[in-house]
Amino acid sequence: MTAAEYAEQHNLHRVGARPSLVSYLRQAWTRRDFAYELARSRIQASNQQNRLGMLWVVLRPTLNALMYGVIFGILQGGSKPADFPVYVVIGVFLFEFFSDSMTQGAKSITGNASLVQSLAFPRITLPIASVVQQFLTLMPMIGVMFIYCMVLGTTPKWSWFMLVPLLAIFTLFNTGVALICARITVHVRDFTQFLPLITRMLFYTSGVLFGVDKILKEFPVLVRLYDFHPIYQALQIARGSIMNNADYPAFYWIVLSVWAVVMFVGGVIYFWTAEERYGRVN
């Protein structure tokens, strides 16, 4: 009798063996408190390391919005979107949520090698905790963003509450991206070196700082392609919900939702299939 046959006969399982997807997700759900507490403790730790603490959460996107707004406002001249300062503030603040979720999610496994190797738990909780961390960080940023918008002349209205379902969909999308990047980083460690380049490229091509219809008006095919750009859609829905006289195609909700579901489901399956690999992180 082989060792494998003996193990099967006595219902023995290989240490670190990958469970079924349903069982895996059930185990991850039972550890949701762990993911939340891990995210919260990381926020507290990062605030304690900085002299200004939680103030940096809003200072960084504020300074970025100010810097990029001035530079790109001058470069675009008359091609700037209406209410350009508000346009930039919304774009920069929400893009920070995406970029930080992707970056921190990518490092969630390799950056916690000792935890991964010493304890048995669904590793999916680590990239999810990274996204939860960024979501919790986003909450005060959203409040400050609303204040900036009002100071810059935007009138509060009921449509501002549309950010609640938008952020839920956007968070689902970001979680899928984080899961995919987390596994890629395990296989290709140098991927983290490319992440700053990827985030910069997405930052400059997602309509964060410019109006697509004005900058690319001579390229109608490219303008049409932006109707299926998930980050651009999220930013446009937010702007249409917050800004005065701003609008967006209603089908953006459908396309963005499809993107979010596909990325999340695909990310979960892609991450789960390599579950046995994560315990061998060096």
pLDDT beyond 90 at 46 = no
pLDDT value for 12: 43
Across the range 219-223, mean pLDDT stands at 87
Q: How far is CA 206 from the centre of its chain?
A: 14
Confidence band (pLDDT; 50, 70, 90) for 166? very high
Least confident of 58-67, 191-200, 208-217, 273-282: 273-282
Across the range 57-67, mean pLDDT stands at 78
Task: Supply the DSSP symbol for 18.
Answer: P
Closest to 266 in 3D by CA, of 142, 179, 193: 179
Scored b (16 or more CB within 10 A) or e, 162-188 reads bbeebbebbbbbbbbbbbbbbbbbbee
**Tokens at residue 56, please?**
């940096």
Count of Cβ atoms closer than 10 Å to residue 232 Cβ: 22
Least confident of 78-82, 166-170, 187-191, 272-276: 78-82
pLDDT beyond 60 at 3 = no
User: Quick one: 256 exposed, middle or buried, by C-beta within 10 A (0-12, 13-18, 19+)?
Assistant: buried
Instruction: Check if the beta carbon of residue 130 is closer than 8 Å to that of residue 108.
Output: yes
Tell me the Ramachandran region of residue 219: left when phi exceeds 0, alpha when psi lies from -120 to 50, beta otherwise. Answer: beta
pLDDT value for 49: 64
Predicted TM-score (pTM) of the model is: 0.89
pLDDT value for 10: 46
Quick one: what percent of the chain has pLDDT higher than 90?
50
Higher pLDDT, 74 or 21: 21
pLDDT value for 48: 67
Higher pLDDT, 222 or 282: 222
Across the range 114-132, mean pLDDT stands at 87
What pLDDT, in 10s, does the model give residues 103-122? 999 999 988 887 887 777 88
pLDDT value for 282: 53
Least confident of 36-50, 78-92, 113-127, 246-260: 36-50
Quick one: what percent of the chain has pLDDT higher than 70?
89
pLDDT value for 173: 98
pLDDT beyond 70 at 50 = no
| Distances from the Cα of 182 to the Cα of 97, 130, 271, angstroms | 17, 10, 8
Scored b (16 or more CB within 10 A) or e, 46-85 reads eeeeeeeeeebbbeebbebbeebbeebeeebeeebbebbb
Least confident of 81-95, 182-196, 208-222: 208-222
Rounded distance between C-alpha atoms, residue 104 and residue 261, angstroms:
21
Rounded distance between C-alpha atoms, residue 101 and residue 29, angstroms:
20
Instruction: Check if the beta carbon of residue 43 is closer than 8 Å to that of residue 63.
Output: no
Task: Supply the DSSP symbol for 211.
Answer: -
